[in-house]
């Protein structure tokens, strides 16, 4: 039995709640509540029965800021993958690549404005969410189109899984378990981010080095209590090109002192 569109929930914070009014034209009154992850959530029918679906809405400039702050990939996406069976990221706005590949965003009055971020960074980031995290990425041009797309998805997910037959007219590889609790793609396994890595992501100068702390420290407690000498001697290897071995790198004294200072000054 399909679920009702009344299961739609929308976060009560700015950036989410203003969409609620647009659903009324579709005869849907979403429940405005606090969601820990995602802007909207609803239930549907998956291959193994009832499943949970989350939608994160990002206007294009918000997406750029979230990528730079790492909030989206470091907090929101892992949270959705952990707590929902399927996750969407909707990028709202009108944007394109400029002559030199720079991001161009259409503002008020239909005027294009350039951003410092290259379009390549946006495209590759979004493609990475699909290929390596199993997140469904979609572009919409306005709040109205965002809501229209969500309504379509709510109604699609109301159908029993075996009732979906539109894919049978063309060749399509079978789906199997992957990202989330049901997944989309063969051999797709999202990387779990440990507490140690999450802490390291907040430390100065760590960035993509944070993933190495799993092998550096046995626990978050050991990591937080380590002195600058310990941090300074931590080693990792860079990724080599064309199959060649990467170079060995050491964190160093200056970086280690900043890290320890940040940990000891944390509130």
The full set of domain ranges for the chain reads: 5-169, 195-264
- From the options 3.60.110.10, 3.40.50.720, 3.40.50.10130, 3.40.50.12780, give the CATH code of 5-169: 3.40.50.10130
Q: Residue ranges of the alpha helices (H) in the chain? A: 20-23, 60-69, 71, 77-83, 119-133, 143-158, 195-201, 213-216, 220-225, 228-232, 253-264
Query: Is the pTM of the predicted complex or chain greater than 0.85?
Result: no
End-to-end CA distance of the chain: 50
d(CA 118, CA 134): 24
Nearest to 133 by CA among 78, 66, 198: 78
Compute CA distances 15 → 56, 76, 216, 259, whole Å. Answer: 10, 14, 39, 34
Radius of gyration over every alpha carbon of the chain, rounded to an integer in angstroms: 22
C-alpha 267/C-alpha 262 separation (Å) is 10
pLDDT digit string (tens) for the chain, length 267 residues: 344 555 899 999 998 999 999 999 999 999 999 999 999 999 999 988 899 999 999 999 999 999 888 888 888 899 999 999 999 999 999 999 999 999 999 988 889 999 999 999 999 999 999 998 999 999 999 999 999 999 999 999 998 876 665 544 444 444 444 455 545 444 444 556 788 888 888 888 887 788 888 889 999 999 999 999 999 999 888 765 555 566 888 888 999 999 999 998 865
The answer to whether the beta carbons of residues 32 and 181 sit under 8 Å apart is no
Question: How is residue 72 annotated by DSSP?
Answer: I
Q: Which of 143, 140, 122, 139 is nearest to 20 (CA)?
A: 143
Quote the CA–CA distance of 178 and 183 in Å, as a whole number.
4
Burial class (CB in 10 A: 0-12, 13-18, 19+), 18: exposed
d(CA 68, CA 122): 11
């Amino acid at each position: 039995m399909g679920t009702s569109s009344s299961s739609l929930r929308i976060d009560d914070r700015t950036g989410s709640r203003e969409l609620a009014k647009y659903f009324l034209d579709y005869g849907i009154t979403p429940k405005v509540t606090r969601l820990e992850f995602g802007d909207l959530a609803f239930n549907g029918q998956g291959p193994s029965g009832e499943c949970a679906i989350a939608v994160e809405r990002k206007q294009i400039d918000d997406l750029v800021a979230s990528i730079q702050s790492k909030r989206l990939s470091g907090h929101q996406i892992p949270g959705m993958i952990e707590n929902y069976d399927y996750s969407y990221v909707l990028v709202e706005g009108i944007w394109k690549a400029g002559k030199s590949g720079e991001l161009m965003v259409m503002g008020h009055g239909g005027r294009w404005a350039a951003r410092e971020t290259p379009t390549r960074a946006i495209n590759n980031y979004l493609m990475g969410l699909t290929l390596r995290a199993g997140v469904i990425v979609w572009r919409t041009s306005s709040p109205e189109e965002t809501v229209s797309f969500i309504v379509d998805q709510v109604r699609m997910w109301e159908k029993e899984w075996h009732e979906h037959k539109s894919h049978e007219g063309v060749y399509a590889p079978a789906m199997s378990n992957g990202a989330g609790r049901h997944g989309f793609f063969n051999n797709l396994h999202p990387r779990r981010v440990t507490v140690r890595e999450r802490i390291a992501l907040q430390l100065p100068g760590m960035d993509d080095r944070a993933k190495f702390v799993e092998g550096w420290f046995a626990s978050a407690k050991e990591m937080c209590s380590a002195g600058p000498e310990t941090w300074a001697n931590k080693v990792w290897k860079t990724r080599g090109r064309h199959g060649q071995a990467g170079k060995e790198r050491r964190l160093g004294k200056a970086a280690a002192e900043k890290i320890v200072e940040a940990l000891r000054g944390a509130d």
